Chains A and B, each alone.
Chain A
Amino acid sequence: MPSRDEIFEKVRDTLCDALGVDEDEVKESSTLFGDLGAESIDILDILFRLEKGFGIKIPRSELLPENVTAADPNFVANGVLTPAGVAELKAKMPHADIDSFAKDPRVEKLPDLLTVKMVVNFLESKLA
């Protein structure tokens, strides 16, 4: 099993290839959509590259579950996730930093959950 540093390096190289960013721009705390300028279609590109790089299958729904908040009307109220919504997110995305998100759980902040650290966490658990 690769070490966390090795996983990070591979993820960083993948993001450099897929997003055309420089190595030093990619930090664990970087958000893919915000800091690294990814667009939704880049996710497919990144997934294919990670699959190839690590030799595993990565279902998009595992890394980035879609429509978690839309699944139940009780998960969102006035554009903010309810405690039930936050709990659901935590269950569906154990690799994401939901605790930090929960301090300001606005729906519009959801894309910021996708950080380099989250991808590394995901791969670490997947490769364990």
Chain B
Amino acid sequence: MRWMWVDRFVEFESGKRAVSIKNVSLAEEHLHDHFPGFPVMPHSLILEGLAQTGGILLGETHQFSQVVILAKVPRMTFHSYVTPGETLTYRVTLEDVNADGGMVSASAKVGERLVADGEILFAHVNPDQPGAVRVDQKSFVFELLRGVLDVGKAGDPSLPTV
């Protein structure tokens, strides 16, 4: 299994906002491990999907030249749970960015139903810093998102060409 908690980006406006989706399937192991007998998408993994969406939005602003890590979740409220067969839509907006990192506001919805909303803070890590983990972020991002950064502006429903 790969640590990818977004299936596809559907909107991407560089430096501003991104929308991605995650389809929740009964075939996914973590649904069964979380609350046995009551398969729901773990909130922690919804947060991870929002963070991957926001981290890529931030990373793209500097062409993934910096390693972006989730630094802090100042606020995240969960309003409902997500069951198999549903599609989560993750919307993130880049609120602030500077040399040290960035902040996004984020929401997760199934259709019009609000599942979660909050803020996520990311930090840039200098890969040359002692103790820093070397991450080939570019290849991670592009493997995850083959072609998705080619999607049109907001409102363009066309699928990415892979």
Contacts and interface: CB of A to CB of B under 8 A. Distances in A.
B74 A18 contact: yes
B135 interface: no
B143 to A, nearest CB: 28
Interface in A13-63: 17-18, 41-42, 44-45, 47-48, 51-52, 60
Given A18-B74, A52-B95, A45 B103 contact: yes
Nearest to A45: B121
B101 A44 contact: yes
Contacts of A44: 71, 100-101, 121, 123
A42 B98 CA distance: 15
10 contacts: A17-B75, A41-B121, A44-B121, A44-B123, A45-B72, A45-B74, A47-B98, A48-B98, A48-B103, A51-B96
A42 B75 CA distance: 13
Interface of A: 17-18, 41-42, 44-45, 47-48, 51-52, 60
B110 to A, nearest CB: 28
Contacts, number: 28
Contacts of B100: 44, 60
Given A44-B100, A52-B95, A17 B74 contact: yes
Contacts of A45: 72, 74, 103, 121
A53 to B, nearest CB: 12
Interface string B103-115: 1000000000000
A22 B121 CA distance: 21
A48 B95 contact: yes
Interface in B86-140: 95-96, 98, 100-101, 103, 121, 123
A59 to B, nearest CB: 8
Nearest to B102: A48
A42 B72 contact: yes
Nearest to A57: B98
A58 B96 CA distance: 12
A17 B103 CA distance: 14
Nearest to A58: B98
A37 to B, nearest CB: 13
A38 to B, nearest CB: 11
B94 to A, nearest CB: 11
A48 B94 CA distance: 12
Contacts of B101: 44
A44 to B, nearest CB: 5
